[in-house]
A and B are shown apart, each in its own frame.
Chain A
């Protein structure tokens, strides 16, 4: 069975500092990987996705993520965070062969931005 681990429950970063959120997945074949962001009381917004090809993917709001097959990781990064980035971030995986299968999510990382 596939699984996703986000080892950091909370992360606090100063505004303007760089950010890296960790995500490790377990899946027997080639996965599709996603990062979603959830603001309080809102649904999940897709930040970026990896299907194949270039292992460094660019997303919205200045985020990027790098797929490292050897480490089973898909870490999310941003060079300079803004106060509006404070939210819950979820990493998710689905099997590439499944196409329209449901996502398996990590438990999320709560990002706090210090002024």
Chain B
């Protein structure tokens, strides 16, 4: 089965450090989403891309977060500088042309000390 692949699975780092999370969408999917999951807020949409172009990043803190798609097989989410409140599980999802349904990766569990 085709899968969305996220790396790393787990990341522990100190406050102030740069964090980069990577996502390889399913081959042929042209829409990529980033979500964040926390106990308090649940699953929240951060940003998404279609054909590598950003469509909406209104859910993302602009001052420290950035999302890019350098090519069709790689999406990145960066946090610089990281803060303890960024601790969460970050999910990437991809979907085919037409938009739905979305297929999720296993997430990156991020802990900022």
Is A105 touching B104 in the complex (CB atoms < 8 A)?
no
How far in angstroms is the closest Cβ of chain A from B57?
A: 11
Contacting pair A100 B100 (CB below 8 A): yes
Whether B82 sits at the interface, judged by CB under 8 Å, is no
B105 to chain A, nearest CB (A): 5
- Given A43-B91, A43-B107, A107-B42: A102 and B100 interface contact (C-beta under 8 Å): no
B45: chain A residues within 8 A (beta carbon): 102-104
Complex: how many Å from CA A37 to CA B107? 14
Asked if B56 is at the interface (CB within 8 A of a chain A CB), the reply is: yes
- Residues in A whose Cβ lies below 8 Å from that of B91: 43-44
Q: Nearest CB to that of A6 among chain B residues? A: B42
- Cβ contacts B34-51/A at 8 Å (1 or 0 each): 010000001101001010
CB of B31, distance to nearest CB on chain A (Å): 4
A102 near B103 with CB under 8 A, answer: no
Give the number of residues in A that approach B within 8 Å (Cβ atoms).
24
Q: Given contacts A45-B104, A51-B100, A94-B100, are A100 and B48 in contact (CB under 8 A)? A: yes
In contact, A49 and B101 (Cβ under 8 angstroms): yes
B84 contacts chain A at the CB level, 8 A cutoff: no
Cβ of A63 < 8 Å from any Cβ of B? no
Q: Which of B31, B103, B107 contacts A100 (CB 8 A)?
A: B31
Which 10 A-B pairs give the minimum distances between C-beta atoms? Answer: A100-B99, A99-B99, A102-B45, A105-B43, A43-B104, A44-B104, A43-B106, A100-B31, A107-B42, A49-B101
B residues with CB within 8 A of A: 4, 31, 33, 35, 42-43, 45, 48, 50, 55-56, 59, 91, 93, 95, 98-107
What would 30 A/B residue contacts be, using CB atoms closer than 8 Å? A32-B100, A34-B100, A34-B101, A36-B104, A41-B106, A42-B106, A43-B4, A43-B104, A43-B106, A44-B91, A44-B93, A44-B104, A45-B104, A46-B102, A51-B100, A94-B99, A94-B100, A99-B98, A100-B31, A100-B50, A100-B95, A100-B99, A100-B100, A101-B99, A102-B48, A102-B59, A103-B45, A104-B45, A106-B42, A108-B42
